[in-house]
Chain A
């Protein structure tokens, strides 16, 4: 056990070094920007992965919490001039509160019904953002989000923001890892494998599902906060149904029930549209095909799929 723990720490150390090295070496603001988006999407993927990958509860409305986080901080710090760090607390609190209210009845559903319930919730949040123009700026978007500052540090786009985002991503990965290694983590997996069995061995499944739903919502709100203060302009399209699907896709393509899978999925799905920009109008066709092909041939996701391929290749050689 001790050895395994060490191994995990080395994995994280390598990851930390690679990320910081990239931040120090790269001067190109475009690359830093893309990497920052990858970090933000990783946070979303991590949260949803806890809910979907480990606990087996599908949510097709995760972008709602991302939107709630982004708009809460935008309204509080932009319109009312509250310190952005304080509005981060409010954004997370708002997401947690809404997740609690919505999760209470919704998480009693399962399967397609849960998927449709969360989808409906996501659509409603998006429509409210779009129609409540007096507060949110409506369909034309919200302008005037302040830049983050901490003492002498100003988090404008570039290396500073990059380190802020990835610092938070790293912390979130550690939290998820610790959580999964704990009693709670084992209980979550038990729910995934069979909810009735989990109830039978004394797990309060409804409460636990609610807790993990709230945890995912809080991570989503943090991601929304980071997104809002990074791009400084937000509009409802960024938090719609298609984005919810995109987060689900990140988790599934990367590989469910794997912390690294969320990272890989977020990376692939953030980079893919950037790469495909060159194909102009063929972008959607290629994106759709990639989704289908990966799911058809690697239903376990890229992490597992690539590992399997390497293993088969190794076996073929010996």
Chain B
């Protein structure tokens, strides 16, 4: 019992990180129909910038966080401007390769800037854990889960309550119709890009105190984010969030109860099962369709 609760706690914590990554991917997909294979690299940028600003330079925590998110947004916008928008013939497979190329580029740049050694970062708050059912719950976990909820809630409110957000949803539903009714769909795509990579950077900030951060941490995190987004249903905000939590919990239980070596396989087995049984995801927003 105690063990299982402990696994649940750590599962929910990593799950919240996956959820934030998945939310970013899912948002981008719903407004631009683009799957960003470089998404994990923005998580890496967020984590490494955070480590640099907070630990190395010693900026106050909120400022360091803002800086890390800003770095994620700005690098995402630069990537959108120079690589995605200049592509003449945006066929999906071409775009996939461009994002893969961008991912390799960002990884290479990070390796030059930060070197190959991993960095660790202290927790945001004190390390005294709370005991529930004999299992230790770190304040860190509460921090991360609540911040993830606030972020997803914020995006939800933005999409439902503000005019810009509604315009973005309109673009996601039908780009041409939105354009015809006067919504600058190009700009909405750029905005979605910024929010998406910003979310990636937020996930990076969360994960920096949990694991070691290094230039090559992004790829697998990005892939796990896809799995989470697919499990929840591509294009659905809360679906992606739930998918992330579910993935984190199952991974943690699987690693604890079955084998830690097979931990990474769980995400992909789950992905295949979902694709075979319910290709639209558990909480499907759109039906599985062509490119």
Contacts and interface: CB of A to CB of B under 8 A. Distances in A.
Interface of A: 52, 58, 105-106, 109-113, 115-117, 119-121, 123-124, 127-128, 130-131, 241-242, 245, 248-249, 252-253, 256, 281-292, 295-297, 299-300
Given A110-B290, A291-B104, A296-B83, A252 B264 contact: no
A140 B103 CA distance: 27
A29 to B, nearest CB: 30
A68 B106 CA distance: 31
B97 interface: yes
A288 B102 contact: yes
B107 interface: yes
A290 B288 CA distance: 32
Given A58-B93, A111-B289, A281-B112, A297 B219 contact: no
A119 B279 CA distance: 15
Contacts of B98: 291-292, 295-296
A127 B272 CA distance: 15
Interface in B55-114: 83, 86-89, 91-94, 96-98, 100-109, 111-112
A124 B289 contact: no
Interface string B199-237: 000000000000000000001000100110010001000
Given A112-B35, A295-B87, A123 B265 contact: yes
Among A106, A124, A296: residue with most chain B CB under 10 A: A296
Contacts of B276: 105-106
B86 A296 contact: yes
A126 B269 CA distance: 12
Contacts of A128: 265
Interface string B252-291: 0000000101101100110110011001000000001111
B31 to A, nearest CB: 15
Contacts of A110: 288-291
A119 B265 contact: no
A288 B35 contact: no
A252 B219 CA distance: 21
A242 B104 CA distance: 10
B279 A109 contact: yes
19 contacts: A52-B93, A106-B272, A111-B289, A115-B96, A117-B275, A127-B261, A131-B261, A241-B223, A281-B108, A284-B107, A286-B108, A291-B97, A292-B101, A292-B102, A295-B87, A295-B98, A295-B101, A296-B83, A299-B88
B105 A284 contact: yes
B116 to A, nearest CB: 9
Q: Is the interface of B mostly helix, strand, loop or mixed?
A: helix
A175 B275 CA distance: 33
A120 B83 contact: no
Nearest to B29: A112
Among A110, A297, A299, A300: residue with most chain B CB under 10 A: A299
Contacts of A131: 259, 261-262, 265
Instruction: Report, as a range, how many residues of chain B touch the other chain.
Output: 35 or more
Among B91, B98, B111, B269: residue with most chain A CB under 10 A: B98
B275 A285 contact: no
Interface of B: 35, 83, 86-89, 91-94, 96-98, 100-109, 111-112, 219, 223, 226-227, 230, 234, 259, 261-262, 264-265, 268-269, 271-272, 275-276, 279, 288-291
B9 to A, nearest CB: 25
Given A112-B234, A284-B104, A288-B103, A295 B223 contact: no
Given A123-B265, A284-B104, A297-B88, A113 B97 contact: no
Given A113-B288, A252-B94, A283 B108 contact: yes
A249 B272 contact: no
A291 B93 CA distance: 13
A287 B105 CA distance: 7
Contacts of A249: 97, 100
B264 A127 contact: yes
B83 to A, nearest CB: 5
Contacts of B89: 299-300
B94 A116 contact: no
Nearest to B90: A299
Contacts of A127: 261-262, 264-265, 268
Nearest to B101: A291
Contact of B272 (A111, A117, A290, A300): A117
A248 B35 CA distance: 16
Contacts of B83: 292, 296
Contact of B88 (A109, A120, A283, A296): A296
Among B234, B288, B289: residue with most chain A CB under 10 A: B288
A291 to B, nearest CB: 3
Contacts of A245: 100
B268 A123 contact: yes
Contacts of A287: 101, 104, 108
Given A110-B289, A292-B98, A296-B87, A119 B223 contact: yes
Contacts of B234: 112
B291 A112 contact: yes
A124 B101 contact: no
Contacts of A111: 92, 288-291
A120 B87 contact: no
A290 B105 CA distance: 9
Closest 9 CB pairs of A and B: A284-B108, A288-B105, A291-B101, A288-B104, A285-B108, A292-B101, A120-B268, A299-B89, A120-B271
A287 B102 CA distance: 10
